[in-house]
A and B are shown apart, each in its own frame.
Chain A
Amino acid sequence: MPIAIGVFVVILLVVLGAVLVYRRRPPERAARWHENDRVEGTYAVLLASTAAFLLYLTFTAEHRVDTLANRERPAVIIDVTGSKWEWTFTYPGYGFSVRSGTVGRQPLVVPAGEAVRFQVTSTDVIHSFWIPALRYKHDAIPGSVQITTLSFSRGVFAGQCAEFCGLRHSDMVFTARAVSPAAFAAWARGRGSGPTP
């Protein structure tokens, strides 16, 4: 992000500078040079190095998010099922589910500070399981179970379907509540029937 802003500012200043310096000269005074392979070649190498650097950053981050995260032992496994236009969150370890979307309004409760494994699927069209505060989403595709492991800090987070799924895509929302592991365990053992922690 800062690189992007830096690049933009530099180019903007150079362009504005060039325009200010070189305007209103008579056409005969325009310079004739029109290439400089050495400078351009150096610049291309610079660009390629920048690309390599960005790729290094991206590959390491992706490895962390996609591969390493899923290798951790999760504290709880939650099945996420998207359908038009409702999210169903099932806790197979505890034997109950909650729903949120156009019909249900129950929150997705998770333990904070621990690895939570989501097994994401859909019953009809492609939806996308998205929690903006975690800067993460994953598609829910019918015919597959996508596994992703996230960890939450304590708080309340909005959730939203992020893949167009028809008439009431706007309403396919949910709320995630990350609470202390003890509160979560108590709530889950009560099969979600007690008050929301």
Chain B
Amino acid sequence: MSVATRHPARFPVIGGWLGTLTSTDHKRMGLTLGVCSLFFFLLGGVFALLMRTQLAQSNMHFVSDNSYNELFTMHGSTMIYLFVTPMAIAMSLYLVPLQIGATRISAPRLCLAGMWTWICGGLVMQQGWFASGGAGRAGWSSYAPQSNGINTPGVGMDLWVIGVILAATGMLVMGGCVVATIARRRAPGMSLLRMPLYTWTALVSVLMVVGSFPMLVLVMVLLYIDRHGGRIFTGFEGSIDYQDLFWFFGHPVVYVMFFPYLGAAAEAIAVSAHKRWFGYLAFVASMMMFAALSMSVWSHHMYVTGGVTNQYFAFTSTLLLVPAGIEYFDMIGTLIGGAIVLRTSMLFGLTFFIQFLIGGLSGIFVASPVLDYHAYGTYIVVAHFHYTLFAGSIFGFFAGVYHWFPKVTGALLREGLGKLHLALMAVGTNLTFFPMFFLGNDGMPRRVSRYPTHPGWGTLNELETIGAGIIAIGVLVFLFNVWTSLRRRVPAGDDPWLGHTLEWATTSPPPPLNFEAPLPPIRSYAPLLDLREEELDRARERAEVTVGG
């Protein structure tokens, strides 16, 4: 066990706010990145509310067509590049070293440089709003030739491209640091198959980041050149190549936006069921398979182009249901036989699994080319990805927040407000996104600022707008919960939930070098639970001996 010693640096340590911003402590970096991501979540949410206001009734003119195109582009881009993905990385930066018993992440300075690159990316992307012609407005996937210099000219779109390049590079660098940390800094005794669930989900996620984000940087650089005179994405081949390259990144990223939150929900469920996660080996194997498969399904976004071999991608895409089904089996196996406490983190975790199921099943639906010929470009797809990403991942995110907030801050979040937050979000989410299946099935396309007066469309859209409002109130309740829990602190102690993994074996919040006392022995993926079970067994034996005489 390492002993921490402080030695005076050659030049004075930076304190204050600049110290926080230049800190190479993985916890500080994770928190900074997380807070910035949360800010972008709120910004992207405002964009969504504006969109939903425009769509509340048919043929409204709340925003102009051009503004709406900016809004849906920036909503998607902000949520994907500036919230869900970086938040997953932020959680991993904070939690992974703690969970593996390390004192720091690998290459902390490189990681900090990556974080600042990402921050610049977020700011540059949003600068587009101030440009004439407006911000990026060709969709978050910005297909060529729509996104080229002829069809979407202007500085705002250029800033969008640069913003994506910066954000992607930053996340790539940070992800690489997490891989290196898991590879190199596990505590003595923590073999790979004793790593906690969250760490495994973080590992496969950052492996996908390292494997696919370079493609995003490349395609955006090519798009930039294409926009400034280079004839890169021209003709049929060019259009198909753009989509092939973009979706080579674009599909893995949605799994990067899913696995860490799955890990968070799984940890919350296992701890609140007081039972170690069921089927660990199967889970690890299926995570690796899931992640690898995710890098070979990308052309299922291109079934209607006529430029890809639909059958191969239908094959790989449908296969995804196998590892997904294993996860659900494992979750149920964890719940059965447990001692379940229905605290907010558990409830969010359960809701994540149930709602994600809707997203996942609709995904199997659109994995079939013939069904996708109907669903592509419609609100069916919008419903599918919002169920997986919002009703799924974000609920997993909140499960993680309620689970780990006490560890990070030392204070407990209010349970009553937490359950209110969950209820509002669950109602709002389903009200907003479930009707979209029907709208899409009935023929409403996506990315339209106005829709004609079809029977039922106005009512469903209004319901969805109300649902969006309810989500917004839920988020406000959450923010209030955070604020009030920090103001009037209820101390959490080191281990309020009887956690299983190493982060609960240190103080809340952890000290700068993470562990001041020696680590407990690591014999499985739930070392603290092992200790507790041993304690229980010893107490029972003692009781029997006493009773038996």
Contacts and interface: CB of A to CB of B under 8 A. Distances in A.
Contacts of A142: 145, 235-236, 239
B92 to A, nearest CB: 24
Interface stretch (B30-38, B268-276, B541-549): B268-276
Contact of A141 (B239, B318, B322): B239
Given A1-B365, A162-B377, A26 B339 contact: yes
B280 A34 contact: yes
B329 A55 contact: no
Interface residues of A, number: 75
Contacts of B326: 40, 43-44, 47
A31 B275 contact: yes
24 contacts: A7-B357, A12-B357, A15-B332, A19-B335, A19-B340, A19-B342, A21-B336, A22-B273, A22-B336, A22-B340, A23-B339, A25-B338, A34-B277, A34-B334, A47-B326, A51-B318, A59-B311, A141-B239, A142-B145, A162-B304, A162-B376, A164-B69, A164-B143, A170-B448
B305 A139 contact: yes
Contact of B152 (A11, A28, A43, A166): A166
Given A15-B353, A51-B319, A125-B145, 19 more contacts: A4-B362, A8-B358, A11-B332, A22-B340, A23-B342, A25-B339, A44-B322, A48-B319, A51-B322, A57-B368, A62-B314, A125-B143, A126-B143, A128-B304, A133-B443, A138-B373, A162-B377, A164-B146, A166-B146
A126 B358 CA distance: 30
A37 B278 contact: no
Interface in B341-393: 341-342, 350, 353-354, 357-358, 361-362, 364-365, 368-371, 373-374, 376-378
Contacts of A135: 373-374
Contacts of B354: 11-12, 15
B191 interface: no
A69 B234 CA distance: 30
A24 B319 CA distance: 38
B230 interface: no
A21 B374 CA distance: 42
B405 interface: no
Contacts of B237: 143
Contacts of A173: 452
A160 interface: yes
Interface string A2-40: 001001100110110011011111111111111111001
A11 B151 contact: no
A15 B357 CA distance: 12
A139 B306 contact: yes
B338 A22 contact: yes
B139 interface: yes
Nearest to A18: B335
A40 to B, nearest CB: 5
Contacts of A171: 450
Given A22-B273, A62-B314, A62-B370, A7 B239 contact: no
A132 B442 contact: yes
A37 B282 contact: yes
B364 A4 contact: yes
B450 A170 contact: yes
Given A34-B279, A54-B318, A125 B338 contact: no
B314 A55 contact: yes
B240 interface: yes
Contacts of A126: 143, 145-146, 239, 305
A67 to B, nearest CB: 11
B417 to A, nearest CB: 21
Interface in A106-139: 124-126, 128, 130, 132-133, 135-139
Please tell me the size bucket of the interface on B.
35 or more
Given A22-B340, A23-B340, A137 B376 contact: yes
A72 interface: no
Most buried by B among A59, A132, A141, A146: A141
A44 B374 CA distance: 30
Nearest to B374: A135
B318 A167 contact: no
B65 interface: yes
Contacts of B445: 130, 160-162, 169
A61 interface: yes
A160 B445 CA distance: 8
Contact of B337 (A26, A30, A35, A51): A30
B454 to A, nearest CB: 8
Contacts of B235: 142-144
Contacts of B145: 124-126, 142
A141 B357 contact: no
Most buried by A among B314, B448, B451: B448
A62 B151 contact: no
Given A128-B304, A160-B445, A8 B310 contact: no
A158 interface: yes
Contacts of A144: 235-236, 306-307
Given A128-B377, A161-B445, A165-B146, A141 B319 contact: no
Contacts of B449: 170
B140 to A, nearest CB: 11
